[in-house]
Chains A and B, each alone.
Chain A
Amino acid sequence: MGYHWNWGIFWEMSPEGTGTYLDMIIQGLRMTLITAALAWAIAFIMGSAIGVLRTLPGRAAPLLANAWIELFRNMPLLVQLFLWYFVFPEVLPAAWGIWLKQLPGAAFLTSVIGIGFFMSARVAVQVSSGIEALPQGQRAAATALGLTPVQTYRYVLLPMAYRIVLPPLTSELLNTVKNTSVALTIGLAELTARARAVQEFSFQVFEAFTAATLAYLVINLIATLAARWLEARVRVPGYGRA
């Protein structure tokens, strides 16, 4: 192949004047991790709430939960980010919209909220399927013991439901990390965007993308091992397949 490899590129100073090309990749990695962590916090909290709503008796709560899930599942993440970034400030009262657009971390804030809400629909589906996987008798037994609905979820249903869906939740967490790369379209300086910038400055395409690829693989490996450790740690001895 007529491509000139130069792995030494990472130790050369970047034209941005803030460090080497390797520093650019590391800054990108840091941005990816911070964005993903905050987005995951939103996704986990909102997703759990929506997932619980979906399993409540009656019709209104499940309907609301399903509407939320369908809304955020049926639009591409990229389109959702554009809605938050370009459309949302315009539909607000003018003064708020201008304030929002001039916020220094607008791309970061948009990414956290956009990816967080997008992922919340997926977390909600997992959480509700975890609750539904529990034997009906558990809810009945909790009621018979005199637990309120809140107590039933807090002490009986959710602790087991989370254990059941720990593996799919782990992959949703990893999806959150991967999805932060979509935010490069609104200017977030995350890992893929920084790898792209290294490529544009240095013309070393494949070295730059290899660095980003390795970083994603390492994140994946660490998260998978951590999840495996957590699964073993929170396992309830003798309980089903969990």
Chain B
Amino acid sequence: MSNFDFEIIHRSLGYLFFEGMRFTLTLTLLSALGGVILGTLLAMARLAGGPILSAFAAGYVNLVRPLPLVLVIFWFYFLVPYLGQWLTGASRPIHVGGFASALITFIVFEAAYFSEIMRAGIGSIPRGQSAAAMALGLNYRQSMRYVILPQVFRIMLPVLLTQTIVLFQDTSLVYVLSITDFLGAASKIAQRDGRLVEMYSFAALVYFVFSFTASQGVRYLRARIAVPR
């Protein structure tokens, strides 16, 4: 421990943040966005879809949530090339890059969690509101778009953001595909230079500072935007 090498961290900052952290944050934000959209559609399908659609949405959520993310990452890493082949009609499994594979995995996986959040949110809006929207002549789409969902997003924003912080931490699992996210970048330098203690300690510190700051921000937001009832 006496020979902790700060120099190696200093020298690799550019690589760690411009390569690694950029990948991590891009993946986090796009996955959260895609996950919330797909999750909202799933929640609506489950609550207001016909019997088939709502059974599909429920089945999807109940299939994905018991599975560990690591297994789902492996599933999609091998499955996506075949799906691409099937979709494009190519003669052999198509090549899919690490980023695309990871992004698809995280959107599909997180949608199951976001859909449960959105379902709880939609359920928390008094029934009278959708009845009132109908009485005003709004159709289902319009009542969701203009009446229900704006309130759900406001009420559930802190929970959605907390789930996004979890997602930010979970993106570190792309390590199993040897992708250069933030942890992957730290790990590559750690192994190249035999500096595991320095690089992993620094990575832990960075994840901690990011997550802790973000969760304090969410706490502040929660107090600020609480809907008085």
- A contact residues vs B (CB 8 Å cutoff): 1-3, 70-71, 73-80, 82-83, 86-87, 90-91, 174, 177-182, 184-185, 192, 195-196, 199, 205-206, 209, 212-213, 216-217, 219-220
Contact = CB atoms under 8 A, between A and B. Distances in A.
B215 A213 contact: no
A70 B172 CA distance: 18
Interface stretch (B7-15, B73-81, B148-156): B73-81
Given A74-B212, A185-B175, A82 B71 contact: no
B170 A76 contact: yes
Interface string B81-95: 010011000001100
Interface in B105-131: none
B169 A90 contact: no
A216 B197 CA distance: 34
Contacts of A185: 175-176
Interface residues of B, number: 36
B55 interface: no
A213 B71 contact: yes
Given A2-B92, A76-B183, A216-B68, A209 B172 contact: no
25 contacts: A1-B82, A1-B85, A74-B207, A75-B208, A78-B172, A78-B183, A79-B172, A79-B203, A82-B200, A83-B200, A86-B197, A87-B200, A90-B197, A91-B1, A179-B68, A181-B68, A181-B69, A182-B173, A184-B176, A185-B176, A192-B70, A199-B78, A209-B71, A209-B78, A216-B66
A209 B176 contact: no
Nearest to A94: B1
Contacts of B1: 90-91
Contact of A87 (B63, B201, B211): B201
Contact of B207 (A79, A217, A219): A79
B204 A75 contact: yes
